[in-house]
Amino acid sequence: MAKRLPLLAAAAAVAATPAAATEVEVSGSAQAEIANYRDTGASGDNGLAFTDAMRGELGVDVVEDLGQQVAVLARYRLRLNTTRAAWSEEQREAFVGLEAPFGRITAGSLKPAYKYTGGVTYDPFAWTTLEARSNAGMLGYERPLFVSTPSFGQHGYMSDALGYEVTGENIAFHINASLDQGNYRTRDEEDATSDRGEEGDYSAALKFFGRDWEGFLAVSMNDWDAVAVKEDEDNPGAAEFVHLLDDDGGYETIGRSFQAAKIGGQYEGEAHTFSLQFEGFEGEEEAADVVDAENIDVGLGDQTGWSGFAGYQFDFEPNTYVFQLGGQRISNDADHIDDVNGIYAATGFIHSFSEESRLFLGYRFNRFTSDTDEFDFKQRTWSLGLRKDF
């Protein structure tokens, strides 16, 4: 028995080594925000709204240190609505990866390089009702449905993707590529509005930086199949999905692609931070003429456009004053769709209790108009919120 004790102790020490080298961390965000909307348009968002603005989430990170500056990584993050205590199936991050001196390789559902270079990282109001994206300050899901841009811009994550990141002394490179060229949703779902498409997708960014500055160039490409959309006659200002039937009785989809590029930079001094970025995009529709059963043109056509953003932050600890401006122009070649112009402005204060807790108060104004004055959408929003990261 005495001889077995040292052997058991040695075996226990060997078995404990991997566990001791593995770190598990639970983290997330909780946010509650009350916003007062005043709209002029078809949305009807007038009055008070209580929301977490898609900020709430809960996740776990696992890092196993293998030595020699090599580690195996795993991450799962889930959407959790703070104000409703509800889980959501909305896609977030989930990956397994390897980190080494040559960089980081990941596989799974990943943050797009385009989205997290400049973009949302330049907007301290991101994931609040004051944010620039989708409100004419950055590309996103705009209220007029026909100027929407897909997930690989400023929204969403890339699923079934491979990623590579490497950072040098003054340069960083990040790329994601989705190799799954098949459809991830079946076409027999009545509410299915889009599929993966027939080609792979990518998102890439190159960043140069110094002690208090950075500059970047980012590109994104998304190919997908879309169900045709037309205005809902029973609900003006809204839209309905038109399922086109092929000869076999199945759904016929419209092949679309979206390419975007942006350039920008940021200067961060002791008290003042200045951010700039400019985006250009092009959306293409493979079908030249798309009509429904009543021979009504419901195609989106080809689109081109741009979006500009400028932000300023003044830090006087523990407070930060924020002022932001943005503008957009979306041109459509379809005769039944107007060209769209957008403007955005937001200002407010952030009070930081700590690095992980903040209170924010702000005001946002944005407006979308068409060249033919067919619609004029304005929105004014006052917002007060509390956020806790952990």
Residue 260, C-beta contacts closer than 8 angstroms, at least 6 positions apart: 114, 139, 149, 152, 153, 219, 220, 221, 279, 280, 281, 282
7, part of any domain: no
Residue 318, preceding peptide bond in cis (omega within 30° of 0): yes
pLDDT of 255 reads: 64
Range 218-232 burial, b when 16+ CB lie within 10 A, else e:
bbbbbbbbbbbbbbe
Distance of alpha carbon 178 from alpha carbon 197, whole angstroms: 11
pLDDT score for 253: 56
Task: Please give the pLDDT value at position 251.
Answer: 47
d(C-alpha 389, C-alpha 27), whole Å: 8
Residue 147 dihedral angles phi and psi, to the nearest 5° = -110, 15
Indicate the DSSP class of residue 297.
B
- Residue 386: which of 77, 128, 155 has the closest Cα? 128
Quote the CA–CA distance of 53 and 286 in Å, as a whole number.
34
pLDDT by residue for the chain (390 residues), tens digit each? 444 434 334 334 434 444 448 999 999 999 999 999 988 765 556 789 999 999 999 999 999 999 999 999 999 999 999 999 988 877 789 999 999 999 999 999 999 999 999 999 999 999 999 999 989 999 876 544 444 455 556 778 888 899 999 999 999 999 999 876 444 443 444 444 445 555 678 999 999 999 999 999 999 988 766 555 444 555 554 444 444 444 454 445 566 677 899 999 999 999 999 999 999 988 776 654 555 445 555 555 678 889 999 999 999 999 999 999 999 998 877 666 678 899 999 999 999 999 999 999 999 999 988 887 777 889 999 999 999 999
| Residue written as token pair 């500056």 | 69
Q: Measure the CA–CA gap between 77 and 56, rounded to whole angstroms.
A: 10
Quote the pLDDT of residue 183: 41
Model pTM score: 0.82
Q: pLDDT value at position 88?
A: 80
Q: Tell me, yes or no, whether 9 lies in a domain.
A: no
**CATH number of the CATH domain containing 109:** 2.40.160.10
CA distance 183 to 160: 11
Q: Is 164 inside any structural domain? A: yes
Burial of 35 (0-12, 13-18, 19+ CB in 10 A): buried
8 within some domain: no
> What residues contact 338, with CB distance under 8 A and at least 6 apart?
332, 370, 371, 372, 374, 375
Rg (CA), the chain: 24
Residue 148 token pair: 């929407």
| 339 within a domain of the structure (yes/no) | yes
Strands (E), 249-292: 251-252, 254-268, 272-285
Cα separation, 304 vs 337, in Å, equals: 13
User: Could you tell me if residue 1 is inside a domain?
Assistant: no
- pLDDT for 40: 72
Task: Read off the tokens for 39.
Answer: 């709209």
| Cβ count near 99 (within 10 Å) | 18
Q: Looking at the domain assignment, is residue 17 inside a domain?
A: no
Asked if 34 contacts 381 with a C-beta cutoff of 8 angstroms, the reply is no
**pLDDT for 215:** 98
Residue whose C-alpha is closest to residue 340's, from 300, 285, 289, 291: 300
Host domain of residue 75? 23-389
Task: Tell me if 15 is assigned to some domain.
Answer: no
What's the helix, strand, coil split of the chain in %, to 5?
Answer: 5, 55, 35
Q: What's the structural domain count of the chain?
A: 1
